[in-house]
Amino acid sequence: MLTLCKFRLLLVNFGILSVLGNNLTCYQCNDCDKVDKNTGKSRGCPVCVKAIYSQPKRLVERSCYYSCEALPEFPAAKFYCCKKNLCNSSPSVSWNSMCFLSTVLIYIILKYLSKFM
């Protein structure tokens, strides 16, 4: 539990320290499964992050971070990173993009293969 607390503090600190020179607006909240018009926002973020912790109980946090590539691997958490304003509201930012691109790629391959059949 102490490691999770330290990591969350680190996440917040990097978000605060890295806001200079960046211009994204991200949702900023702790224990917020859903966002609405009253959800807090941070401005000047390099990237937006949504973190879902599964232990000791399910917890969702939204915040800024300094880089998608620098997100740690943490056994009891999943991280979603995005680079558009208020993009950390969706359940799985990177997964949605990957599904769309995979669908387009499969369509192109099948279209190409159908010419030979």
Query: Domain segments of the chain: what residues?
Result: 2-90
Q: In the chain, what percentage of residues exceed pLDDT 70? A: 71
> How far is 94 from 11, CA to CA, in rounded Å?
19
Q: Could you tell me the pTM of the whole model?
A: 0.59
> How far is 116 from 17, CA to CA, in rounded Å?
56
Better pLDDT: 70 or 94: 70
Q: Are strands 59-65 and 47-53 parallel, antiparallel or unpaired?
A: antiparallel
Provide CATH code, domain 2-90. 2.10.60.10
> How far is 18 from 51, CA to CA, in rounded Å?
18
What is the pLDDT of the chain when averaged over all its residues?
78
Average pLDDT over residues 4-13: 51
Q: Mean pLDDT check: name the lowest of 38-52, 59-73, 79-93.
A: 79-93
Q: Letter for the amino acid at 20?
A: L
Backbone φ and ψ of 98, nearest 5°: -65, -40
